[in-house]
Amino acid sequence: MRNDRPGLLLMWHGDFPEGFLGTEEHMALYKKCLFARDVLESRDFYDTRQFDDDIALAGLHIAYHLLSRMKPGHLELSYLSMRSPGIRQSIYRTASRGASRIICAGAAGLMLPGHGASEGIPAELKKVLRDNPALDLVIASPTLEGEDVARLTQQSLEFTLQGRAGRWKIPERSFRCLEDLGIILVCCHDFSAGKSAAVTDLAGVSSRLSEMSRKAYGEKECDMGGLLRPAGHKLKKAGFHAVESGFMDFALPDIHEAAGRLLDTGCTHIVAAGMPALLHRHPYSCGGPSEAIERLKKAMPDTSIVYVKPDPEPIGPYLADVVMSRVLDANESGIALKDLLRNTSSSFSGKR
């Protein structure tokens, strides 16, 4: 039955299924990605890039709003790789400025417990602790609720489609003096705009790794740590006929299958939201929502598809609020980083 209300397609970057890197074949291809990335970094690729992608812009907005609200003693914006400064450089710089405690929190592209946030960041921190065991390093948990994802997505859609966004009351929190606290916001990177041969090499290896990851899911589907169902349920109440999540890489279902499910429910047109890509980006994702949506439109020429590009500016305060809550929780709990480093496996489980 046809339905005039639009269907909503949430466009995500996927991640490895649990235990993916435990096989020799998968690890061998993963190491090839590491080598291809090292080639890029050795050519100072990141030093030639400007803040011209959504991930970098979101990181800047998060840092700005967090700095204005928390007023910590020190705040650094760093990158997991491909850009400068890196995590270790930011930690050393923050420590040299007198911070008695340093909290590292995943920000743009690293706000969900995928490979980058749950394994990449702890691995870098472990290297620092090996040489500087006296440092008081705390890592903030990269955990969001389905309601957070729904609110952020709805905020982005309302601003872009209606020119305004509904009010979202930011909760007030009291906390002790943070003058001696250093905060490092770690963002992912985006090399998809690069055109060099080194970028092409990395993209080729990454594409094979993505396909291998999807095959490893088998009949399972990625549920993003249990976020998809509650986020979709809340967004459906906002006026959409149906809500589906599709993955641009590394996981299932892909966006073509998810869009097909929307059509099967009777939707005649689809609104595709790229905002979830700001929350999670796999370290080796080679493309963004813009490229993926063009392929989807070519595959479904008779379907009306409106792509809503993620705009970090209107949701900047709310992204910062999510990060701030995690930072404050980490500061209050004082969980030893060495304990977290013993359990650094990805939380992106699949479901049948």
What percent of the chain is modeled with pLDDT above 70?
83
Q: Are residues 13 and 278 in contact, defined by beta-carbon separation less than 8 angstroms? A: no
Residue 148 CB contacts under 8 Å (≥ 6 apart), including other chains = 322
Q: What is the pLDDT of residue 154?
A: 87
pLDDT beyond 50 at 346: no
Higher pLDDT among residues 125 and 311, named by residue: 125
Kindly report the average pLDDT of the chain as a whole number. Answer: 82
Q: Which residues of 106-121 are buried (b: 16+ CB within 10 A; e: fewer)?
A: bbbbbbbbbbbbbbbb
Delimit the domains of the chain by residue range. 21-145+163-192+316-351
Burial of 64 (0-12, 13-18, 19+ CB in 10 A): middle
Pairing of strands 221-222, 242-247: unpaired
Is residue 310 a contact partner of residue 190, using CB atoms and an 8 Å limit? Answer: no
Place of tokens 């921190």: 125
- Residue predicted with more confidence, 47 or 11: 11
Q: Look at residue 270 in the predicted model and tell me its pLDDT.
A: 95
What are 318-336's pLDDT values in tens digits?
888 888 888 888 888 765 5
Q: What is the pLDDT of residues 52-71, one digit of tens each?
A: 578 888 899 999 888 887 77
pLDDT band for 144, please (50, 70, 90 cuts): confident
Higher pLDDT, 4 or 87: 87
Stretch 173-196: mean pLDDT, rounded? 70
Which of the four pLDDT bands, split at 50, 70 and 90, describes residue 50?
A: very low
pLDDT for residue 52: 52
Distance, CA of 293 to CA of 297 (rounded, Å)? 6
Q: What is the mean pLDDT of residues 275-287?
A: 87
Give 318's DSSP letter.
H
Q: Which amino acid is at 37?
A: R
Query: What band does 316 get if pLDDT is binned at 50, 70 and 90?
Result: confident
- Residue 40 above 80 pLDDT? no
Greater model confidence, 40 or 173: 40
**Which residue, chain included where needed, has tokens 């729904």?**
150
Strand bridging mode 269-273 / 7-12: parallel
- In whole angstroms, what is the distance from residue 271 CA to residue 217 CA? 27
Tokens matching residue 84: 């400068």
> Among the listed ranges 37-41, 247-251, 281-285, which one has the minimum average pLDDT value?
37-41
